[in-house]
Structure formats: C-alpha cells, structure tokens
C-alpha cells in the first residue's frame, strides 16, 4: 500500500528540474500494436520516485501537457492512498491472425479477461470475427472477452460487426465509434436491435475537451480511463467521480514505470468491477526495470517501480531522439 498522500512532497518542480533527470528510451514491441513497432518514452526522477512521459509521437503540446502533468505527479507529488493491494488485469490481443492468439495469451498468465483489438486498417470484419472466435476458443466459455475498435467504425458497421460478435459473448465494445454522438446513437440502435453489447468510451473521455459529454448524452455504459492522458491519478479519479459510470483503467503502452501510475489509479478507485487493461508491459520486448509489472495469477501488485540504470543505458534512444523529447517536454511545460 502507499503511504498517506499528505506525507509526500507537494512542491512543483521547475522545467530545469524535470529536464535534469530526463532519460529517453526506445523499446521494441514484440508485435505491432496501434501501428507502433518501437515504443519511445521519457522518464523523469523526482523526490517521490520515477514518472513517465510517453504521449504518442503524433500528439501536439496541448495533449502532451496532460501526460507531463501525470509524470510530474508521479515523480514529485506521489499518488493517493490505495484501497486494494492488487489489481486484476486483462490480456491484450493485438490484430494478429487467429493462429497467433494462443501464443499472445500465454504472455498473460492467469488472466480470465481478454481485450481484442478489432477494426485494424487493412483488415476486414471477417478477420475480427475469426480473431475473437480464436480468443473465445482458447480461453473457454467462462472468460470475459471485450473488443476495442479505437473509434474506427460508423454506427452501421459497428451494429453489423457487434451483432456478429454476440455469438462470442462480448463483455463490452470499447470506443466502437469516434464521436460521442455516434456512441449515443449506437446504444439506441443496439437496444432496438436486441444486441446486448455494452458500450465503453475511451477516446471520448481521455481526448475530449469535455469528458462529461459522455455522461450528459448517455453515450456509454462504462468509461475507460488512463492516468497519463487525463493528467494524472488525481485528475482521473475526479473524472470518474463526476461522471458516475463504472470505470476500467487502461494503459498506453507504458513501461513498468508508467504502468505503476495506472495501477495506482486502479488501486485508488472506490469501485472496480472489471479487469483493467494494465498488462501491456508483456507486449514490450524489454523494460526499464529488473522487476517488471507483469501479471501474476491474472493480477498486478500495487507498488512503485524503480528504473534500473543499466536498462536505461541499454534502451537509450539515439541522441537526436533524446533532444527531440527534451524539446517536446519544454513545449508542453507551459501548458501542463
């Protein structure tokens, strides 16, 4: 468990403080995920420990500033008290062929829930159905299986594909459509069509100017939250409380340092009804610590992570990439 939050340092660092400890790493992925084959992130160390700044490369300063606020919270402030000492997690299945599914699932020992990526560019609905069928076959009828489309479908396509996937007992569909209005309309269409698949909002929460529109438009049954894109653990907890919907905590292809923030968020939630998407360190072919946060018996322990100097050196990004990340931190700093 974490020490009481009031005992932790609360002073905000300067930009020079953050840059002085900045280490940039590039870690290869075991399989392509969200189009990513190498995961670059920046790590910082402060009086409360290590924090991770890892917005995806296409994100601009405004969006990246929330990730920077999360890193500063982790390294200079610390996290709220935990109410549980372990967090159940799901396996994550990228957009692989059905023959590769068993091998992917082996990286998530003890997990009884799987999140399956669907709607991958260049693939078809048949590919998605075959992948989900392979997951259900490998995990058995008692497992929970959810799908994530990253907003790639329109309402008609989502209705068609989710209707086909009901044969595999889907726990929920994560961000099946891009806009809040489409999510709202999809929920109505699914109900009218007798398709019993709950809708979860992810990008409509973490990338939205006003995440409460999901609540106000009744656009989702569940919200998916990530510590870094929402500005840190405390800000994410505030959003969950204000939204009033069940929450699932997920990650953003973090190293174990970044994953620790997601675990801290899940550990501090008053209510946790679903396994969390916090097992993705297993998708990286390397890490920044010798004690990786990977699932044991389907769960992660609630603890801090300390970066290992040797691994930071082994995975160090090229000097020009490190300079790019320093500039990125500077650009985001005034907005954090």
Measured CA distances, 190 to 149, 158, 160, 170, 186 (Å): 16, 9, 10, 13, 6
DSSP assignment letter at 51: E
Contacts of 75 (CB under 8 A, 6+ apart): 13, 21, 44, 45, 46, 47, 48, 49, 50, 51
Residues making up the binding site for Mg(2+)? 148, 174, 202
The CA angle 214-219-225, to the nearest 5 degrees, is 50
Least Cα distance to 237 among 51, 80, 55, 71 occurs for 80
DSSP track, 166-195: GGG-EEEEES-BSSHHHHHHHHHHHHHHT-
Q: Catalytic: which of 226, 234, 303, 328?
A: 226
Q: Please provide the size of the chain in residues.
A: 336
Sheet holding 170-174, edge to edge: 91-93, 113-117, 144-148, 170-174, 199-201, 222-225, 247-249
Q: Is residue 117 among the annotated active site residues?
A: yes
Q: Is residue 207 among the annotated active site residues?
A: no
How many CB atoms lie under 10 A from the CB of residue 131?
Answer: 24
Q: Catalytic: which of 117, 187, 234, 315?
A: 117
Q: Which helix (H) or strand (E) holds 46?
A: strand 36-46
Residue 227's SS3 state is: coil
Question: 175-205 burial by CB neighbour count: b if 16+ within 10 A, else e?
Answer: bbbbbbebbbbbbeebeeeebebbbbbbbbb
Query: Whole-angstrom Cα distance, residue 67 to residue 79?
Result: 15
φ, ψ for residue 14, nearest 5 deg:
-90, 165
- Which residues are the active-site residues? 117, 226
């Amino acid at each position: 468990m974490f020490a009481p939050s009031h005992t932790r340092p609360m002073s905000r660092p300067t930009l020079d403080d953050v840059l002085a400890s900045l280490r940039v790493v590039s870690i290869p992925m075991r399989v392509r995920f969200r189009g990513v084959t190498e995961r670059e992130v920046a790590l910082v160390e402060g009086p409360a420990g290590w924090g991770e700044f890892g917005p995806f490369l296409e994100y601009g300063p405004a969006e990246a500033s929330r990730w920077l606020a999360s890193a500063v919270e982790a390294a200079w402030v610390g996290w709220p008290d935990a109410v549980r000492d372990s967090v159940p997690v799901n396996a994550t299945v990228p957009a692989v062929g059905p023959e590769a599914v068993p091998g992917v699932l082996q990286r998530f020992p003890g997990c009884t829930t799987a999140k399956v990526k669907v709607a991958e560019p260049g693939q078809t609905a048949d590919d998605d159905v075959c992948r989900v069928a392979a997951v259900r076959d490998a995990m058995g009828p008692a497992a929970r299986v959810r799908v994530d489309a990253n907003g790639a479908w329109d309402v008609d396509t989502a209705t068609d594909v989710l209707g086909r996937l009901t044969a595999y007992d889907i726990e929920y569909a994560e961000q099946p459509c891009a806009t809040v209005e489409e999510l709202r309309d999809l929920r109505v269409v699914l109900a009218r069509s007798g398709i019993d698949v709950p809708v979860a909002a992810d990008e409509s929460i973490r990338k939205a100017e006003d995440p409460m529109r999901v609540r106000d438009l009744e656009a989702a049954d569940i919200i998916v939250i990530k510590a870094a894109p929402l500005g840190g653990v405390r800000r994410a907890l505030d959003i969950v409380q204000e939204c009033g919907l069940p929450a699932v905590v997920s990650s953003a292809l973090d190293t174990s340092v970044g994953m620790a923030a997601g675990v801290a968020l899940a550990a501090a939630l008053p209510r946790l009804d679903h396994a969390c998407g916090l097992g993705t360190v297993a998708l990286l072919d390397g890490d920044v610590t010798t004690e990786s946060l990977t699932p044991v018996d389907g769960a992660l322990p609630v603890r801090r992570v300390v970066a290992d100097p040797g691994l930071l050196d082994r995975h160090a990004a090229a000097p020009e990439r490190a300079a790019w990340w320093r500039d990125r931190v500077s650009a985001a700093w005034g907005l954090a």
